[in-house]
Amino acid sequence: MSDTHDNLKNLDKAIKVFKEMNVELVIHCGDYIAPFSAKKLVDSGLKVIGIFGNNDSEKVLIYTIAKEKGADISSDVRELTLKGRKILVIHGLGSKENTINIVNAIAKSGDYDIVIYGHTHEARAEKINKCLVVNPGEVFGYLTGKASVAVIDLDKLEAKLIELR
């Protein structure tokens, strides 16, 4: 998930989807905005790992709230290995075009099995060479008119984009 931008109503919908689908780990690609949004997510009972986005101003408080609940929200870029899959999580950098160019270059490098990013607010799930590239879209829902999340199947190396209704 990404780009919550304090939309608690849609955050509740995302949490419900993740629980219904028995998601093992929620990865947030940044832009919670206020600490109360991060708190709602980490209070959900879901396992959460996240990074910061360009609009997250109270990073220390978000980090502290997450840590108190056993979640890990820290840094601006994160490498993970889950079920043998090497994953890069970033928010984005600069313009939409710049972010997409950077993500595509990383995917083409062959260094990662999955690249997950946010920032553009536009949902995307596609393979570039052997790398799965996923932007879950925005939980916020106001910039594109569609609120969405993505669920990744690590075994099949596939992502499903889910619109929040």
Residue-wise pLDDT tens digits, 19-40: 999 999 999 999 999 999 999 9
Domain range for residue 84?
A: 8-163
Q: Element (H or E) spanning 74, and its range?
A: none
**Does the predicted model carry a pTM greater than 0.85?**
yes
> So what's the pLDDT on residue 53?
97
In a domain, 3, yes or no: no
Q: What is the mean pLDDT of residues 109-137?
A: 98
In a domain, 57, yes or no: yes
Euclidean distance between CA atoms 12 and 6, whole angstroms: 11
In a domain, 135, yes or no: yes
In a domain, 123, yes or no: yes
In a domain, 69, yes or no: yes
pLDDT band for position 99 (50/70/90)? very high
CATH number for position 124: 3.60.21.10
CA angle 93, 77, 56 (to 5 degrees): 65
In a domain, 2, yes or no: no
pLDDT band for position 136 (50/70/90)? very high
Q: Element (H or E) spanning 109, and its range?
A: helix 96-109
In a domain, 1, yes or no: no
In a domain, 155, yes or no: yes
* Total tally of structural domains belonging to the chain: 1
Residue-wise pLDDT tens digits, 39-90: 999 999 999 999 999 999 899 999 999 999 999 999 999 999 999 999 999 9
Average pLDDT taken over every residue of the chain: 97
Q: What is the mean pLDDT of residues 131-150?
A: 97
Contact present, 89 and 78 (Cβ < 8 Å): yes
